[in-house]
């Protein structure tokens, strides 16, 4: 499902002026990432035709950039990884502590005595 606005849309719209304004200050790696995301799943990277043998319906599927920084290519993998890490978390009740004063053995600062 396509969201209303993607990083690639922003790069395609503002990328050329951004690169011009920062000419000489962007590393080659950053320029490559921007280019890969801009061209991901477009005709620039080529593609193939998926066709149904039963009904004859076909669609063009463009190739992805497979860049590790591309949210379109790695978004599903990132969501899967995050869900796995969340499943590993141990439910621990927490309470915020404010520490001030001097440090005690437990690593927290002792609060100064108020008169």
DSSP string for 81-94: HHHHHHHH------
Give percent of the chain above pLDDT 70.
79
Q: Which burial class, exposed, middle or buried, applies to 29 when counting CB atoms under 10 A from its CB (0-12, 13-18, 19+)? A: exposed
Summarize pLDDT for 1-20 with one digit per residue, the tens: 566 899 999 999 999 999 99
| Half-sphere exposure of residue 8: CA atoms within 13 angstroms, side-chain side | 19
Angle between helices 28-39 and 7-21 (to 10 degrees): 140
pLDDT given at position 14: 96
For the residues 69-98, what does the mean pLDDT come to? Answer: 84
pLDDT given at position 115: 57
pTM exceeds 0.85 for this model:
no
Here the tokens at position 14 are 């503002």
Here the tokens at position 34 are 């921007």
Greater confidence (78 vs 31) lies with 31
CB 36 within 8 A of CB 67: yes
pLDDT given at position 76: 85
pLDDT given at position 90: 84
Summarize pLDDT for 49-73 with one digit per residue, the tens: 999 999 989 999 999 999 999 998 8
Summarize pLDDT for 27-50 with one digit per residue, the tens: 999 999 999 999 999 999 999 999
Domain segments of the chain: what residues? Answer: 7-88
For the residues 77-104, what does the mean pLDDT come to? Answer: 77
């Amino acid at each position: 499902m396509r969201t209303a606005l993607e990083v690639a849309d922003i790069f395609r719209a503002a990328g050329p002026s951004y690169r011009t304004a920062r000419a000489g200050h962007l590393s080659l790696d950053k320029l490559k990432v921007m280019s890969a995301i801009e061209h991901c799943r477009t005709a620039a990277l080529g593609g193939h035709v998926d066709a149904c043998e039963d009904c004859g319906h076909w669609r063009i599927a463009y190739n992805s950039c497979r860049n590790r920084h591309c949210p379109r290519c790695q978004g599903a993998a990132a969501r899967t990884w995050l869900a796995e890490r969340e499943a590993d978390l141990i439910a621990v009740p927490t309470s915020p502590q404010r520490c001030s004063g001097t440090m005690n053995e437990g690593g927290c600062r002792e609060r100064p005595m108020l008169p």
